[in-house]
Every structure is written in structure tokens, then in C-alpha cells.
Structure 1
Amino acid sequence: MDDDSNQQEAIELLQQLGLKEYEAKCFVALSRRQRGTAKDISETSDVPRTRVYDAIRVLETKGLVETQHSNPQQFRAVTIDEAINTLRSEYVERTESLRSALGGLEPADSAQTTDATHEVWALSGDQGITSRTQQLIEGATDELILVIGHESIFTDQLADQLRAAQERGVNVVVGAVTDDLRTTIRESLPDIEVFVSGLEWIERSPLPSDQTEISRLLLADREAILVSSFTEATGARREHEQGVFGRGFDNGLVAIVRRLMATGLQLEDDPENDD
């Protein structure tokens, strides 16, 4: 990625974190130099000089920029680590405020609701599916069986979550579709049982025209299931990940996956499959 691309990505990410365009451009411009005047910032960021002062004032209020009251005034950005910590704190504060606001809403449907154990819900996109995966892992009290169909799914964050689950007494079993992936997982999680899945359809479909690839299959406490996949045709795999989620011991989807998982584990235990 070249310098222009890095700069543009930084500006876009700062906007996603709540800064306005000129504020993001001014901060990025200051991050590229030790200090600078409003004229320097304007020349580097292409922000009109008259708007630089307004942007700097906001950045200063957020704790992202410091001002030296000389003539002319000099400005400098805080360190990258300090900026990230500041933005993270603000993000957490906003999400907690959102939690409080949403939790305080009166229900629009006054009818009593009960858990529907036979419903299946669709999920889309890596962020939502990863979040649901984390929720299931952190909520498990007895057993977690996870089959990983693609190496991109096994992140440091996922490894930490599985390790934490095991440490609180949950029986964690992880399956991999290949020996190489099993080795990678075992190196990261040496105290967790890892096996090569006997379910060949997870890695590849028996249908020639089917390009779907199972990316993860998670069974939590034998009563909640999450299955996700993407197609080989999509370039950005994780962004186009699709998933289904079901809960309830007698949910048909959960029952089917539970039996498939048991089959995969039995195949792994077969002496003929030993290394």
C-alpha cells in the first residue's frame, strides 16, 4: 500500500470513528510532521486555511492535538498510541451510552414473547458473524465444538476466546479441515484438543458447480449452532461471509449439526485415522 493509499485509509477510518472530514484530514496532516502552523496544515491536507482553525479546535477538545500559543500558533498531534487510546475510550463510552439508551426504551410490542427454539436466523458479514461467535463462546458453560474450515477464521482473538473458555471449565474441542491448519491451531492452543475433521464436505462440496466453502461450524453446549460460509468467487471472502444461527436442543438444524459433529469426532477416534 503506497503513501497516498495509507493516508486516504487513515482519513476514512477516522471519519468512521466520528471525526468530520476536515478534522480527519488535519489530524492526518499533523501526524506526518512534528508540528505545524495552520498554513502548514492547510498545504498538507488541502483543507482551506479558514477551516483549519475550526478543525483544530475540535481535535484539541478531543485530546488529539496540542497547541503552542506562539506567533504564529503551532500545533502538533499526540502520539499514535495516545490517539488510538483516546479514540478507543470515546468509542467505548459511546457504545455504553447506546446500551443505556436502548435498554431504557419501552417495548413497542406489549405481547409476551417466548424463546422460539425452532427458528433459524440469517447473519451476514464478518463483523456480525464474528460477534455472534464470540457471544456463543463466552456464553458456553459446558462444551464447545468448533470446526474451522478456512485459516483466515483462526485469529489471535478467537484463540484467546477459546483459551478463556477452557480456563473457566468449558470442554473445548477444535476441528480443522487440513493437517497444516491443525498444526497451526495446536501450536497456538497446546492444551486444547484439536482434530482433523472427518467431514469432507466442509472443505469441498461433492457438487462440481458448488463453490461454497464452509468457514466455521460452532456448536455451543449442544443447543446453539452457528454455521458460516463464503464462495470462492468472492474476492473479499470475509466481507461476503454468510451465516445461519439456531438455538434449542430440539431445533432441527441444531440436531442435524450435533449428529454431524458426533460423526466427525468418531472418525477422528477411529484407530485407522491415527497419525
Structure 2
Amino acid sequence: MPDLTDLGLSKYEAEAYHALVDAGPTTARELSEVSDVPMGRIYDVLGSIESRQLARSQDASRPKKYVAVDPDAALDRLLAARERELDAEADQYAAVADELRGELTEPPEPDEGYWTAEVGADDAVERLVEQIDDADESIYNVSHTVPTSIDVDAASNRIGDHLVDALERGVTIRFLVSPTLLEDVADDPKLSRLEAYENFEARVGDSVHGDVTIVDGVEVRLDLPNPIAPDEAFAVIDLTDPSFATRVREAFDRGWVAADPIDG
């Protein structure tokens, strides 16, 4: 259950404020007696919540009395202070990330090809988004069907946004799709967003029977269906191997030449 400590108060500060709200104007000694704040700490705690504008003191009274600020105002002040702290932390982390970007260099290309694997629809989508964001020159995609295990609306919205970002960067994107997939996405307004860019093209071909993506001519993504339920996504294999990617690209080009442009 949330309490005032979630908004930045210490345990004693939260206890003192609660006790002030319940007790009304009271002295430090009286507040210590009705709360869990020991007498040896009560003045420091009261000074702290007063500096946070959560309490006010009546200096004219002897002994001095304290009164709580209205809870709505107190919560607004705590929330605003917490937001300022978080904004400052976010700025600090952003500055650290910017500094590290200048220190960390791109890893060298491997002498030999290597591969990685992701299992499950969610991980497959996450990896595809990373690949789109990493693309510098080109993304060539062959798509046969949309797996039933993927939340199509959520995934296509997210992927579409990242594809638009890539097109804005000048990345060439070509989609080669099957007639079956074209029927599923023909009326999708997200496709129209992509068609507005000159560096985007899409064609439909009868020979499309799998799902492959080639990124920057060196990385090949192979989407593997579930062998028990072929309509479901099972795993993704990523191969980084320029010579293999070249052979896949040549096959893509043959299919692209034989395919028909999709009318926008």
C-alpha cells in the first residue's frame, strides 16, 4: 500500500506529518508522545517537514506549536519535488549515456560468420525493431504470412513507426510479399505511411513461401514457424555473414524481378 515515503519522506517525517494532521496544533514534545518519533529526533524531523512546506510553526506561542499544511497542498508539493528529482536524475543519466557514446566504438566485423537465435514471438518482434534501428543502408524483406501468435495491431504499429524512422534516415526498404499476406494488409493504413516515401517499394510474388530479412547486405534474419503449428512464430535465426547474405540477396533479386508492383 502506498504511503508518504513513496513520495520522498523518511519514515519519521511521514509519521510526524500524519500525527500532526490527526492532532492539530501541537508542541514538539506532545507530537513525540503521540507518534513513533523519539524526542531526540523530533526537532530535526519537524524542521525537515517545515522546510518541505508540509508544516508551519507558531513562533508566538510558548512552547512553540506546529500545525500541518492541508493534505492536498502537501501532496502536491511532495509530488512536484519528486518530479523535479526524477527529471534531474533523467538528465544525469542522459548525460552519462551521451558521454559513453563518445567512448564506446563499434565492434569490429567478425572474420567469420556468426549466428544468434531468439525464441518466441515477443523476442522476435524486439529483435526486428533492433535490426530496423541499426540499419544504415537497406532492409529487404520477404514475408509469407503474419503469425497468429503475434498481436498484429500492436506489433505492426510499433514496427511501422521504426520503419518510418529508417526511411527518414534514407534507408532503402523493399517488401516482397505473398498474395496471402497482401490480402491481410492491403487495407492497412500503416502501409500507406510507408508508400509515401520514394525509398520504399513493395511487390507481390507467387513464389514467396518464407520469411526472410536482409539488413545492410550482411545480416540475414530467418523467421522459423512452429513445426507443430505452422501459423505460429517459433524462433528467429540471425546470421551475420556477408557471403551468405549475398546469396540470399541474389535470390531476393530474382524474386523481385518476377514479382508485380503493389498498386498504392
Provide the TM-score with structure 2 as the length reference: 0.51
- Residues 198 and 265 of structure 1 are in contact (CA less than 8 Å); yes or no, is this contact kept in structure 2? no
Structure 1: any 5+ residue segments left out of the alignment?
Answer: 1-25, 27-54, 104-112, 203-213
Asked if residue 190 in structure 1 is aligned to residue 195 in structure 2, the reply is: yes
| Distance of 1:61 and 1:237 partners within structure 2 | 47
Q: State the shift of 1:256 in Å.
A: 4.2
* Residues 124 and 90 of structure 1, relative CA distance in 2, 3 Å threshold: farther
> Could you tell me which of 135, 146, 153 is aligned with 1:150?
146
| Distance of 2:87 and 2:146 partners within structure 1 | 33
Matching residue's letter, 2:162: Q
Determine what percentage of the aligned residue pairs are the same residue: 13
* Residues 135 and 235 of structure 1, relative CA distance in 2, 3 Å threshold: same
Matching residue's letter, 2:253: A
Aligned to 1:11: none
* Correspondence list, 1:1-275, <5 A: 26=1, 55-61=2-8, 70-71=21-22, 115-148=110-143, 149-150=145-146, 152=150, 155-177=156-178, 178-183=181-186, 184=188, 185-191=190-196, 192-202=200-210, 214=211, 217-231=212-226, 233=228, 237=232, 241-250=234-243, 252=244, 254-269=245-260
Matching residue's letter, 2:194: L
Q: Indicate the SS of the match to 1:200.
A: coil
* Residues 117 and 189 of structure 1, relative CA distance in 2, 3 Å threshold: same
Provide the TM-score with structure 1 as the length reference: 0.49
Q: State the shift of 1:201 in Å.
A: 2.1
Q: Which has the larger radius of gyration?
A: 2
Q: Indicate the SS of the match to 2:139.
A: strand
Structure 1 stretches (4+) deviating beyond 4 angstroms? 66-69, 72-75, 88-93, 95-100, 151-154, 232-238
Q: Indicate the SS of the match to 1:245.
A: strand
* Residues 188 and 129 of structure 1, relative CA distance in 2, 3 Å threshold: same
Cα RMSD after superposing both structures: 4.8
Q: Indicate the SS of the match to 1:166.
A: helix
Equivalences, count: 185
| Distance of 1:181 and 1:264 partners within structure 2 | 21
- Residues 203 and 260 of structure 2 are in contact (CA less than 8 Å); yes or no, is this contact kept in structure 1? no
